Amino acid sequence: MRIYASIYQALFCALLTALHSGNCRRNHQCLQKYEKTENHILACTDCPQTPLVRNSRSPEHCARKCKKAKKNCRAFNFQRHSQKCHLLPFDRFGTDVQKQSNSNFTLYEKKDYIRECITGSNNYRGRRSWTKSNITCQAWSDNIINEHTFYPDRYPAHDLRENFCRNPNNDPGGPWCYTIDPNVRAEECGIPQCSEEECMKCNGEDYRGRVDHTEGGRECQRWDSVRPHKHHFQPKKYRDKDLKDNYCRNPDNRLRPWCYTMDPKTPWEYCNITVCDSDYTEESIANTSTSCLEGKGTDYRGTTNVTPEGVSCQRWDSQFPHKHSFLPENYKCKDLRENYCRNPDGSEHPWCFTTDPNQRRANCTHIPRCGAEASQETECYEDTGETYQGTLSITRSGIPCANWSQHINRY
């Protein structure tokens, strides 16, 4: 009897777990499939189906209601003050549908309906309607040219609308369709993986694509969530990093874009994103400076190689006296040549590791600002400069001058 009781208990727990996850009761997972847009709504002036308005205590609660509505909900407008959700049976690509500004709402759209690429799940719901050979797709409701059994009414969960490419049988080749060519029954549509849709330059600091799975196949955690992993990269705190939804990003200048994962045992992983053909462009080369700093000096390519105190910098390709990960081959577009001051991680100033074992790194704050350099260039002297009364306070090697009062009696 104890054996049977244990079996029944295990089955009961498994059933509860399935219901638990199926109903999206783990709040931090409910919004994983949505793209969020603050202060906006989707509105349709002449749609046959009108939004369903429901009371709701949170966006997560709205997402659960939207999931229960199934094919009748592709997005929802969450009204923050009145705590109501407007379940939308249409997406942004529908006829007469508009995305409008509204400070009282936050818009949540199912990502499957708004992106023209696929992830590992192949849940494509986009609008492509031709094959990789450029043959027009046959409507799923038609059965005249090429007969089939994939009728929209028979497979409601697969969104077999019009003649859009879909993957109702989970074919490993990705979305496909029947064609209007009697000689070509069906063909794949050649829709790209999201990792290939938008390539990254350099180390991906400016990557703004829609990859939301890691190179290990794990789903990314939303940046505005702290579950299952707590972190400080909140979108409102790092507005210039575009920490949107759960898309891979590189907010801290790591080797490449990454994300926190939904796996409690794996805090974060890198993402597999295609690298553009060239890390360098004419524009990026034109923006570099060799004599002064613009902004944080990320484009500085000068030859200053000592700290403000006059200590020589350590070579970037050396691990002595300080071990580090900023190797030239890992940051090819950061120009980590020799031992020159550089800013490969977006710090406030160019910096370098030092040759002093007791000082790991130092900011190269003695490199002049580009605005200040112009005024320094106008200064000059006659003969040996005995009458020079200018304000230049840096040697030609870039080392700051010491205060005269500290050394006036030495010579």
Judgement on whether residues 285 and 374 belong to the same structural domain of the protein = yes
Q: What confidence tier does 278 reach under pLDDT thresholds 50, 70, 90?
A: low
Averaged over 329-343, what is the pLDDT?
Answer: 94
CA atoms within 13 A on the CB side of 325: 4
Q: Is residue 313 part of a domain?
A: yes
Judgement on whether residues 366 and 306 belong to the same structural domain of the protein = yes
Judgement on whether residues 110 and 126 belong to the same structural domain of the protein = no
312 strand-pairing partners: 306
Q: What confidence tier does 380 reach under pLDDT thresholds 50, 70, 90?
A: confident
Whether residue 212 contacts residue 111, with contact meaning beta carbons closer than 8 Å, is answered with yes
How far apart are the C-alpha atoms of 316 and 343, rounded to whole Å? 12
How far apart are the C-alpha atoms of 174 and 176, rounded to whole Å? 7
Judgement on whether residues 132 and 110 belong to the same structural domain of the protein = no
Q: Is residue 5 part of a domain?
A: no
Judgement on whether residues 42 and 101 belong to the same structural domain of the protein = yes
Position 286 scores a pLDDT of 53
Total structural domains within the chain: 3
How far apart are the C-alpha atoms of 343 and 269, rounded to whole Å? 24
Judgement on whether residues 109 and 28 belong to the same structural domain of the protein = yes
Q: Is residue 129 part of a domain?
A: yes
Judgement on whether residues 341 and 302 belong to the same structural domain of the protein = yes
**CATH label of the domain that carries residue 139:** 2.40.20.10
Position 42 scores a pLDDT of 97
- Give the domain range for residue 336: 278-378
Nearest 5°: the CA angle 381, 383, 385 is 45
Judgement on whether residues 351 and 315 belong to the same structural domain of the protein = yes
Judgement on whether residues 369 and 344 belong to the same structural domain of the protein = yes
Q: Is residue 219 part of a domain?
A: no
- Number of neighbouring beta carbons within 10 Å of residue 184: 14
Q: Is residue 199 part of a domain?
A: no
Q: Is residue 388 part of a domain?
A: no
Judgement on whether residues 361 and 300 belong to the same structural domain of the protein = yes
Judgement on whether residues 79 and 135 belong to the same structural domain of the protein = no
**CATH label of the domain that carries residue 72:** 3.50.4.10
Q: Is residue 47 part of a domain?
A: yes
Q: Is residue 142 part of a domain?
A: yes
The predicted-structure confidence for 94-139, as pLDDT tens digits, reads as follows 889 999 999 999 999 999 899 888 876 567 899 999 999 999 999 9
The predicted-structure confidence for 153-208, as pLDDT tens digits, reads as follows 999 889 999 999 999 999 988 999 999 999 999 999 999 988 888 899 999 999 99
Judgement on whether residues 99 and 27 belong to the same structural domain of the protein = yes
